[in-house]
Each structure stands twice: as structure tokens, then as C-alpha cells.
Chain A
Amino acid sequence: MKTFGIILKRNTKLFFKDKGLFFTSLITPLILLVLYATFLSNVYRDSLQMSFPQGVTIPDNLLEGCVAGQLMSSLLAVSCVTVSFCSNMLMVQDKISGARKDFLITPVKRHTLAVGYYLSTTISTLIICVVALTATLIYVSAVGWYLSFTDVLLLLLDVFILVAFGTALSSVINFFLSSQGQISAVGSIVSSCYGFVCGAYMPLSTFSEGLRNTVMFLPGTYGTSLIRNHALSGVFAEMESHLPEQAITAIKDSIDCNIYFFGEKVEMGTAYLVVCVSVALLIGVYILLNLLSAKKDK
């Protein structure tokens, strides 16, 4: 157990001390913040106002709270996955540096190393994402706070589940990588594409029907929707006193709080189930890959 604790400490420490890994993991949230500061907030604000019935207005801080909730959910949905990919790159860097070879000449069990990478990635990513959650909550409180204590707890749960998903997905993909070039390629693809395909940068409602149905097969989409629902549930509750129910439903549809799988509305429980089953399946694949690799080297 002490050995495992030291392995965890080493992996986590290396992630935070390795400036390359650490800052790369922050690139996506930073890009999102810059996009938000430059034009995304205006896009969100304008599209919201356009969805209101003619002549209806809502208080400014409710509008700002809604826009900030979208930013918070987008930022967290993307960070949970991209940060876990960067953090989990340690398993590839250990192969490149020769450290992995150094571990394998010792009597330590391969599964101890594999679980060490998994858990340390979870810990590092959680630390960053909880800090991001706190920062965005502070921002939301400054522009328009409508969250309840339960909403905050549910947001924490969503972050935890999405981090588990990001870690499991990155564990399976990074398992096959063994060079710096591959690290850069996968890092770039994930950073640039994940935000789009999970509906964080652009709402799914703006996609064509075919593309929308395709991304509904990706579990990350459900994670984004969960976070968005919990980030905005207070805002929508408050909106009920200003807007008719149909208008609120239209807004929810337009910003992916309501998502549809081939026309069928996906309930929150189902979304949780999809993400959790995906995590379990990916962990199963990661275990299988490690078992097969150990057998091959025997």
C-alpha cells in the first residue's frame, strides 16, 4: 500500500512539476476563456435574447447568469476531458524517457503501475477541474448567482463523473502511444475537436441533423448536457416568473439542456447511465489491454 501511495505521489508531482504537461492541459480552458472574453459571450447573449418572445425582457443579472452558466458548463465539460488527456500523457512520457523500462526491471506488478497512472490522472485532473469550478462559481456569483447548494453538489458530481470518463478514455488511447510526435498529435486533436463534438463550443442545436445524431453516440455529449443542466437549473427556475414555459423549453433546446437521441428526449437519469456505462466499458478495455500486454511480454 505504501508503494502504491509513493507511485501516486510521484505521478501527481511529476504532472504539476512538468511545465510542458501542466500548461498544455490548461490551453483548452484558456482558449475558451479568450473566446468568451472576445466574442462568445456576445454570441450567447444575442442568441438568448433572440429566443425571447417579442416584447419580453428579463433582468440583466438573470441574462448574465445564464450566459455565465453556459461558459461554466462549456469550460468544465471540455477541461474534464482535455486535462485528463494531458495528465495521462505521463504514461507515454515514461515510455519515451525509459522510466517505464526502469519500472519493469523491478518486481512491482504491472497492474499496480496501470492503476497508479489511472488514479494519479484522476487526482491531478480533479484538482484542476475543481479549481476551475471554483473560479467559474466565483465569476457566476459576481454576474448573477441563481444556483442552489444542491446544484453545486450536482456540478461537483458531474465533474467527478466526467473526469472519470476523460481518464478512462485517455487511458485506452494513450496506451497505444509511444513517441513525442504521437503525444503532440493526440493532444492537438483532442484539444481542438473535443469541445466541438461534445457540444461545448457550439450547441448541438446549431448542427445539421445528421451530425447531431452522430455526436449523440458520443458519451461526452451527455456529460456536457448534465453539467449545463445543473449550471443553469437555478436560472431556468427564475426565468419561469418572466417567460412562458414554451419559451423556456425553446431556450433549453437551443443550448442543449434538452438533448434528443433521434428525436427522443434524453432524461437526466439516462444521461448519467450513458456516461457511467461508458466509463465502466472503457475501464474494462484498459484492464484487458494491460492483461494482454503483460501476457505478450511473458
Chain B
Amino acid sequence: MNDMTAIAIPDGSKPDHWATDQEVRWCPGCGDYAILKAVQRTMPEIGAKPENTVFVSGIGCSSRFPYYMETYGFHTIHGRAPTIATGIKLANPELDVWIITGDGDGLSIGGNHMLHLLRRNLDVQLLLFNNEIYGLTKGQASPTSRTGTKSPSTPFGSVDRPVNPCAFALGAGGRFIARTIDTAQKHIPTILKRAHANKGTSFVEIYQNCIVYNDDVFAAFTDKKNAANTQLWAEHGKPLLFANGTKGLRLNTATVELEVIDIIEGATEVVLIHDETNRMLAQLLIDMPFGEFPMALGVLYCDPAPSFETAVIEQNHAVAKGKKADLNALIRKGQSWTVHDAATHKM
């Protein structure tokens, strides 16, 4: 990073322009590095301006993210990033606001705010780095940890059932839900661009490998060797295929369940076409049990609705229209009377 004052980044900027001079303090090999790089790569592609961009985060490894982006940034408190982002966006809707959170920050301590952010549909991009573990506090089970996870706080294995972040987002009324992987360098910018283009809360879950406390927890589908057979990248208007086009998803209309079918000689007629505006289909894709099914990735749901800050500001304008902001008149409203000076009859 150029250490001079000229922080203004020219249009058509390079990804490096979006990096700060701060030393990145994640563990070597952490999946966060790849996500940071992908976000920095995306910025010039979406024509972002540093001064109009704000990264807001909570607490946790992922939440250090704003310090590494040469934009405005606010590293807030645990779980509360959506609340601060709400104030920022309502105060200045022109700002492009990104929320960075993790599975503990966003779904445990901040679950309530996540719920309300999604139902209100504030126009922000929310990146949830899911590593199924508490990293910064040294490895306790998180709300996305699978049942049986052994950790310092669950030495005999966790007994509670995990939350599925995308299912939560959909249930909360989210209108844009996508899922990707930290190492999917080609795909992340594509998804981030879509998320950015959506006016409303764009919820992006990123499977992120914690190399220290939960290494390879996603290897079953992130391992490159098996990727083709275990990853299904959903694309709007295209058949839901994987395994190099040899397998696909079909809807069993009798049970209203998905089924994996083999594609014989390219006959894809019975394969479901991905319709990202179909909430039912999104639910089915999100809930597919991995193993029996591939992991559904990409933009799983996108059905835009009016955004919160637009509605608030429109109402503010509509109600204020034609009214004069006369403070003296305002404080004089109400049941009133005047006391005159008897001697002069003057007030």
C-alpha cells in the first residue's frame, strides 16, 4: 500500500489498492486470507469507491476483516454488526455497506439481530464465514458445529443440534441467499457481484476452513479430488446437474422430495431447472442432507423485495412533505395561554 495520502483509488483500480498497510493477523493457512483476496478482487469489478464503502463487523476472527480493507470500516462488538449497519444505512443510504460475521458472532450472540436484519431486508451484503467453531476464543463448539463435536467446552462431544445458516436466513425472510467456499476463488467474486447487485439483505454463507481448531471439517465436499461429485453449483435457468453432468436432481412429486438421478446419454429433461425465485426449491436445496446429496452452492435464492432503508426514507419524505420545520411553532403547540403584563398590556 502506498503510504502517501493519496488513498483515493482510481477507477479501474487494482485489487491491491483495496489492501491497507496493516499486517494481516490471521493464522497462516486460514481460509480468511482467500476470502479477503476474493473480496479485494471483487471491489474494482463492481466499480466500488473506497470512500462510499463501509465494512462493518462484530467480534471473532472474521470480524478483523475491516482493518484490512482500504475503505471506511467499523469493528464493533460481538454479534451487533447488523445493528450498527442499520444505523449507518438509515443515516446515509448512499453508502455501500458490507457486514462481515462468523457462525458464533452472527448466529449465536447475534442471532436476534440477524433475524431482524433479514426480515427488514436492509440493503447490505452480509458475508457469514462459517467454520463451525469458535476460533478466537480457542476452539469451542459453535451453533453450526455438528452434533458430537469434541472441543474444550464439549470434551465428550456436543449434544445440541446445529443450525443451518441458509435455512435460518430463508426462514427469517431473507430474499437473497447464496453459499460458497473460501477456496472457490473463481466463484466468490461472481457471487459477491450478485450479492452487491441485489438491493436488500444479501446473505452469503462461506464455508471457511479453520486450520487450527477445525481443520478439514468441510473436506468431504471441498477436497478438489472429489469436488465434481460433491458440489452442485446452482445457476438460474439451468438444470441442477453435478458430477460433470452425469447426475442431476429430480423432484419426486409424490413425496415432494428431491432425488439424485443418473443422466443417461445427456437426457436431462426430467432434471429440475434452477429457479432462484422459487422459495420452495431454495428450501429443498438448502436442506439436502450431504452425503446422500451433493452440497448445493451458488445463488440458491434471489427474489428481491423493497429494502428497509428505502421504505423508511420514503415514509420520512412522504410524511414531511409540505410541512415546515418551524421549531418555534412546534414548541408552541399544545394547550396554551398568554399572560400579559397588567401595567403595560405587553407581553
Say if A and B assemble together: no
